[in-house]
Chain A
């Protein structure tokens, strides 16, 4: 275990971690510090997150520092969890997953036979049918920078959908440097393999994102982040807008991946490149439409599929006025 920890720590030296203690705890499931720009503070507490924090409580090893955020849940857990037993179970679980991974590699990608993966034209990536599906998501709001918006995530009616609801407040935090505020976001956690190794989604055969949602008429922004293991790119993401209709009917939103534009640190970049789908790390929904008030979004499932009628590769041209270096 110490060897694995040293190996994992070696990869972490390459990234500029804001909190070194986070890097030394590779078994934390709720690590949003790596890729959220609002991660300087603790993320807003959500019911789904708290349960996952409690799960990973048991696998802290003795010589790691404890994260401050986890201390909030630890007093409740002490009578339930026996430290050594939990660690042993976690170790066994990771080894089991490693064995499954190696065995699945012989069967085919992701454990399914190759012909099934190649012929697939529609795939459900995230669904919301139980509490454990909510654990794959993190919710943040501008409370992290001192604002007043609140956001919560819970299961919807009869456990068949997820409901993201809250209040948006564009009152700017009084910290002397921000003059605009008011955002809420729901971001998926980075997929992890055995020993919390970062994996990614491979959607290279698909070309459209499909969401079945029911909103309240507000415009949302869908953000996709790529896997950035080799190159440090935590500020870059691809985004597009999702307009909800509102009303009692379920809405199908289809966004082709060629429409996503590239942005760095929250600003649209002048030189645009298309979204490459072979290493997708996470997807997120943001609401920041400068209108104060309560909001909600019900999500049934999120999938990807191949739209045979969509042949566009990339929707945005580069202009010589804004990026002259590309046209030399």
Chain B
């Protein structure tokens, strides 16, 4: 019975190495050593002798020194002026299949291609994933009898299939019928990649629309469009109006964030306009910011115009009448903050730009010229940390403390004179 024990041990080892998709799976490719053509038990050994193949193959391309860790990297190396896009990626994949009829080392190649996808910008393209799955030889890895299906049949190839699906899952790509057909052809219906496909189909459809504030994946590149999208995203009042106070310089100057003319876009709703008109001119209002907002993977910064809370004695206390049975109020005083009058997004975060915003606001809010405006331009309560390299518009680093009061009336007089 030693052979049975040997098989069980092998099965245990392969499972222990993370072979099943339900345990933690690593994406690190397993270096298989010299790439072997997959041999099924049913194939005769004579057919795998490459020298005696019946189909005349083109000569092997001269291969450079092959490193043990990256067997097919030279397929992705290209001329210095070559652009990395979908066409060249597809070309590299086709090169592999062309020069390698028996698909030797296809598992390593697929892992390498999965790593290279981000460079070529195709990580969200379903057709490319189907092309990668197409590299697998068909019908070879399907279990044919009960012994195949009990033991994990072709574990490395199944893990590779799962890795492809997992990268699809990470980037939010939904597989389609072609993927399903390919998986059935390659691995069979009861295999682990097929199980993962079923799970993806189920959970993706369940969670597709759960975001109450959805943003599309392709964000606009133009900063003005992006800013207006972000402002509309933040403001729940649908009757609010977005106003562009200043456009950036035209494209031929090649500088969208020119410090002399950054874009300034603001949003204000009619309720906020009315509240600002009723605001007591004796109390100052504050321009606070910059605060960060994330849209998918882009971070933008905005400023707000707000007033402080009224002291308790002047506040209106609306006591809601409660019915005797139902009481859905929480027994806590919620955090109250002063009313927000307007929000804006600008290309620069300094006081001059924001002063231009206030001037723009004055056209629709004539009450604003009597109210003193204080600029508080620090990131409040530590929300803003040192900008990382992925951020688009880094905040102004020098002023960490609070800036002093700037009376709006004086500024107006200066600009008018």
Tell yes or no: B332 within 8 A of A by CB. Answer: yes
Tell yes or no: A203 within 8 A of B by CB. Answer: no
Q: In the complex, are the beta carbons of B211 and A219 less than 8 A apart?
A: yes
Selected from A121, A291, A294, the residue in CB contact (under 8 A) with B384 is A294
Q: In the complex, are the beta carbons of B330 and A156 less than 8 A apart?
A: no
How far does the alpha carbon of A163 sit from the alpha carbon of B26 in the complex, in Å?
34
B60-68, B231-239, B277-285: which lies at the interface = B231-239
Tell yes or no: A218 within 8 A of B by CB. Answer: yes
Tell yes or no: B28 within 8 A of A by CB. Answer: yes
Tell yes or no: A296 within 8 A of B by CB. Answer: yes
What range describes how many residues of B lie at the interface? 35 or more
| Distance (whole angstroms) from the CB of B326 to the closest CB of chain A | 7
Tell yes or no: A301 within 8 A of B by CB. Answer: yes
How far does the alpha carbon of A47 sit from the alpha carbon of B22 in the complex, in Å?
37
Q: In the complex, are the beta carbons of A294 and B235 less than 8 A apart?
A: no
| Distance (whole angstroms) from the CB of A259 to the closest CB of chain B | 9
Q: In the complex, are the beta carbons of B233 and A122 less than 8 A apart?
A: no
Q: In the complex, are the beta carbons of A305 and B294 less than 8 A apart?
A: no
Q: In the complex, are the beta carbons of B334 and A248 less than 8 A apart?
A: no
| Distance (whole angstroms) from the CB of B406 to the closest CB of chain A | 21
| Distance (whole angstroms) from the CB of B248 to the closest CB of chain A | 23
How far does the alpha carbon of A217 sit from the alpha carbon of B391 in the complex, in Å?
15
With A179-B27, A294-B388 given, is the CB distance from A300 to B213 under 8 Å? no
Closest to A120 in B: B327
How far does the alpha carbon of A245 sit from the alpha carbon of B207 in the complex, in Å?
18
Q: In the complex, are the beta carbons of B385 and A165 less than 8 A apart?
A: yes
How far does the alpha carbon of A305 sit from the alpha carbon of B170 in the complex, in Å?
34
Q: In the complex, are the beta carbons of B383 and A296 less than 8 A apart?
A: yes
| Distance (whole angstroms) from the CB of A177 to the closest CB of chain B | 6
Q: In the complex, are the beta carbons of A249 and B236 less than 8 A apart?
A: yes
Closest to B327 in A: A121
How far does the alpha carbon of A166 sit from the alpha carbon of B23 in the complex, in Å?
30
Tell yes or no: B140 within 8 A of A by CB. Answer: no
B51-59, B88-96, B197-205, B347-355: which lies at the interface = B197-205
Q: In the complex, are the beta carbons of B203 and A268 less than 8 A apart?
A: yes
Q: In the complex, are the beta carbons of A124 and B22 less than 8 A apart?
A: no
Tell yes or no: A34 within 8 A of B by CB. Answer: no
Q: In the complex, are the beta carbons of B381 and A157 less than 8 A apart?
A: yes
How far does the alpha carbon of A301 sit from the alpha carbon of B328 in the complex, in Å?
15
Tell yes or no: A303 within 8 A of B by CB. Answer: yes
Q: In the complex, are the beta carbons of A248 and B304 less than 8 A apart?
A: yes
Tell yes or no: B195 within 8 A of A by CB. Answer: yes
A296 cross-chain contacts in B, Cβ below 8 A: 292, 383
CB neighbors of A among B297-337 (8 A):
297, 299, 302, 304, 306, 325-332, 334-335, 337
Q: In the complex, are the beta carbons of A293 and B202 less than 8 A apart?
A: no
How far does the alpha carbon of A218 sit from the alpha carbon of B293 in the complex, in Å?
8
Q: In the complex, are the beta carbons of A246 and B293 less than 8 A apart?
A: yes
9 closest cross-chain pairs (CB), A and B: A247-B234, A217-B294, A246-B293, A296-B383, A179-B27, A160-B335, A294-B385, A291-B297, A300-B335
